[in-house]
Amino acid sequence: MTAPLTTRARAKINLSLRILGRRADGYHELESLVAFAGVGDTLTLDPGEALSLTLSGPRSAGLAPDDGNLVLRAARALADAVPGLLTGSFHLVKRLPLASGIGGGSADAAAALRLLARLNGLASSAPELSRAAASVGADVPVCLESRARVMAGIGERLGPALRLPPLFAVLVNPGVPVETAAVFRALGLAPGQALPARGKAEVQPAGQGDSPAELISSLSRSGNDLEPPALQVAPMLSSLLSRLAALSGCRLARMSGSGATCFALFDDCRQSAAAAKLLSDERPDWWVKPTMLR
């Protein structure tokens, strides 16, 4: 009898995000420096004959263990590619907010693929894994290894893994739903429309060998192109970003992905922990987590 397998599904943070244009098929081309947080969900696989999913955790309300769940979709995509794939019963402890711009569902799907690869003796570089990941969602491929890197295209082009200096951060989600499709509608690009060339991204080398201060300085010259349209969809994010920027020691405040999660970067863990406690006391209804991004 095979023992249950467990892995973390860590939050994905878009440190920078540029929209390059919209393809004729409607998908948006992007370039983003991605890092991963120390907070996330937990996924366990109990090997068995029937594929299933159960849920628990403080953020599981509103999430259904049905065919639309990304964990099950990822498992079925890999089963289609690998005849005789061994599966079993998944259990997801959900701690990350839903639809929040930090790739929670994508990280869960990638975690399912990692567990199935371990169970079936598949190498992490197996092409079936990357193809299954890409078929489930644009953020799933970068979450497979959950290592800092530049992602491009519609998420399918990944640069080499990067060694970023540790970034001390506070993640904040105000509980306001921000639909990704609504943000892209507000961006307003027509199919086939490209944005004017703006040169290479400031952080394309992604801070290899930089100190935390140097990386933060580099990031300050970049941005998140989805932030302005997200502020149209959810204007309260403007006040959230202003509050983060005003925190003592905050070096950079920015939205991740299409929102609504935002982050603030600090020079050390003491500052980030103090800022998180202050925000939690001010707004106990917000999801506030101090963490390290790498």
H/E run at residue 274: helix 269-282
C-beta separation of 267 from 168 below 8 A: yes
| Verdict on whether the full-model pTM lies above 0.85 | yes
Asked whether 269 and 292 are in contact (CB, 8 A), the reply is: yes
CB proximity list for 167: less than 8 A, separation 6 or greater: 15, 35, 212, 215, 216, 265, 292, 293, 294
Catalytic positions are 12, 139
Chain segment 58-111, per-residue pLDDT in tens: 999 989 999 999 999 999 999 999 999 999 999 999 999 998 999 999 999 999
Torsion, Cα 177 15 103 259, to 10 degrees, reads 10
Q: pLDDT confidence of 209, banded at 50, 70, 90? A: low
Phi first, then psi, for residue 276 (nearest 5°) are: -65, -40
pLDDT, tens digit, 9 for 90 and up, residues 221-256: 999 999 999 999 999 999 999 999 999 999 999 999
Q: Token pair of 225, please? A: 């192109």
Q: Is 211 exposed, middle or buried (0-12, 13-18, 19+ CB in 10 A)?
A: exposed
How high is the pLDDT of residue 199?
52
The CATH architecture annotation of domain 5-158 reads 2-Layer Sandwich (3.30)
Domain residues of the chain, as ranges? 5-158, 167-293
pLDDT at 196: 82
How does the average pLDDT of the chain come out, rounded? 94
What pLDDT sits at residue 208? 59
- Confidence band for 204, pLDDT divided at 50, 70 and 90: very low
Torsion 248-258-192-202 (CA) sign: positive
Confirm if 126 and 87 have CB atoms less than 8 A apart: no
Q: Convert 69-90 to b/e letters by CB count within 10 Å (16 or more is b).
A: bbbbbbbbbbbeebeebebbbb
Torsion of CA 245, 225, 35, 40, to 10 degrees: 80
Torsion of CA 82, 85, 91, 92, to 10 degrees: -10
What one-character DSSP code corresponds to residue 66? S
Tokens encoding 50? 């029937």
Helix (H, G, I), strand (E, B) or coil at 68: coil
CA gap 222, 150 in Å, rounded: 13
210 confidence band (pLDDT: 50, 70, 90): confident
In this structure, what is the dihedral angle of CA atoms 212, 7, 12, 112, given to the nearest 10 degrees? Answer: 150
pLDDT band, very low/low/confident/very high, at 205 (cuts 50, 70, 90): very low
CATH fold of 167-293: Alpha-Beta Plaits (3.30.70)
Quote the pLDDT of residue 177.
84
On whether the CB atoms of residues 250 and 220 are closer than 8 A, the answer is no
Report the share of the chain in percent with pLDDT over 70. 96
